[in-house]
Amino acid sequence: MDTKLSDRVVAMVTFRKVNRNPETMRFTADNVKVPQFFEAWTLDPKDALNWSYQVTMFLESSHPGVPSITYSGDEKPMAGSMPLIVEVPLPPDNLKDQIAKLKELDAELSTDF
């Protein structure tokens, strides 16, 4: 993964291959250094296997009841077998606006209950 994760940031990487169910791996600050594997095999080793991955990031709120900010990158086409350093998408341009809106929601929730 080409970024560090904190206690409130989670990366979900979904791998896709034709004729196979998608496989999603969850990365957190606690497990990001533990190797995880996506494997897909072909009958003939000469065939380059086409597959892809897509990263979804979750910025979890520190307050119960306040939703996470979620954003996804583009699906990245790949082929063959190789070690992979997953490219994490950049946050949306309006990230600060989303955070401010969620802080307002948190303030409203804390006064309503």
Residue 53 domain boundaries: 9-112
Q: Looking at beta carbons, which pairs linking 59-67 to residues 24 or more positions away fall under 8 Å?
A: 59/8, 59/9, 59/91, 60/8, 60/9, 60/10, 61/8, 61/102, 61/106, 62/8, 63/106, 63/109, 63/110, 65/106, 65/109, 66/102, 66/105, 66/106, 66/109, 67/102
* 4: in domain: no
Number of structural domains found in the chain: 1
Query: Which tens digit of pLDDT belongs to each residue from 45-96?
Result: 677 788 999 999 999 887 777 788 899 999 999 887 777 888 999 988 998 8
* 3: in domain: no
Q: With a threshold of 0.95, does the pTM exceed it?
A: no
* 45: in domain: yes
pLDDT at 74: 96
* 2: in domain: no
